[in-house]
Amino acid sequence: MKVRFPDYTGSVELSPHASGPDSSPDSSHDDDEVVVLLIRTAKAIVDRLRSHHPEGASSPMTVVHGLAARYLVGRDDVTAVELSRYLGITKQSTSEVVALLESSGIIRRAPHPTDGRARVLLLTDAGAAKLALGQCRWTDIETEWTELVGAESMHTMRVAFEAFLAADTTARESSEAPS
């Protein structure tokens, strides 16, 4: 007996009892969990963005690098510790993200304005230009998506994503708070 293992690639195996009118390739994902659908959609979007990038899939940058750089827009007081908290990754992983962004010329480190021991992470002009180009691509995809599902559905998705992220932030902050 084969068990169904959903994944983001769309490849699945169906159990023998799953044959019938509902087991066509078009409906093979009808019962995927929302999280699986979200991950598959996110991967498809990232793959589409990478396909339009000169470096393509060979770029060492990941979605986390983009989120890190984007967090720095308009900020001049972000430390690696704060960035780590925002990204929800370890300080060691944040150091690796920062090192790649810095070596790629997207960010630079500078002395903290009030804490002589700390350094802040600043977006470079080249980094800001790359983010602006990426934002244009994101906007094109979001426009296409809105045309596909409608403005009301797009708004509903945005509200749902924002609510989940707000709840996640609250949960993280309460788990970090001293007892």
pLDDT in tens, 10-46: 443 433 333 334 444 444 556 778 889 888 988 888 8
Span of 3-7, 50-54, 79-83, 127-131 with lowest mean pLDDT: 3-7
Sorted by where each starts, the structural domains of the chain and their CATH numbers stand as 1-23+32-59 (no CATH), 60-176 (1.10.10.10)
Q: Find the mean pLDDT for residues 82-89.
A: 92
Mean of the per-residue pLDDT values for the chain?
81
Q: Count CB-CB contacts under 10 A for residue 121.
A: 24
Q: Find the mean pLDDT for residues 125-139.
A: 90
* Encoded amino acid at 29, one letter: H
CB–CB of 39/8 below 8 Å? yes
For residue 170, the model assigns a pLDDT of 86
Q: Count CB-CB contacts under 10 A for residue 107.
A: 26
| Cα Rg of the chain (Å, integer) | 20
Q: Find the mean pLDDT for residues 50-62.
A: 68
> Cα–Cα distance between 7 and 26 in angstroms, integer?
15
Q: Find the mean pLDDT for residues 127-132.
A: 92
Q: pTM of the entire structure?
A: 0.69
For residue 101, the model assigns a pLDDT of 96
Whether the per-residue pLDDT at 152 is higher than 80: the answer is yes
Q: How confident is the model at residue 63 (pLDDT cuts 50, 70, 90)?
A: confident
**What percentage of the chain carries pLDDT values higher than 70?**
79
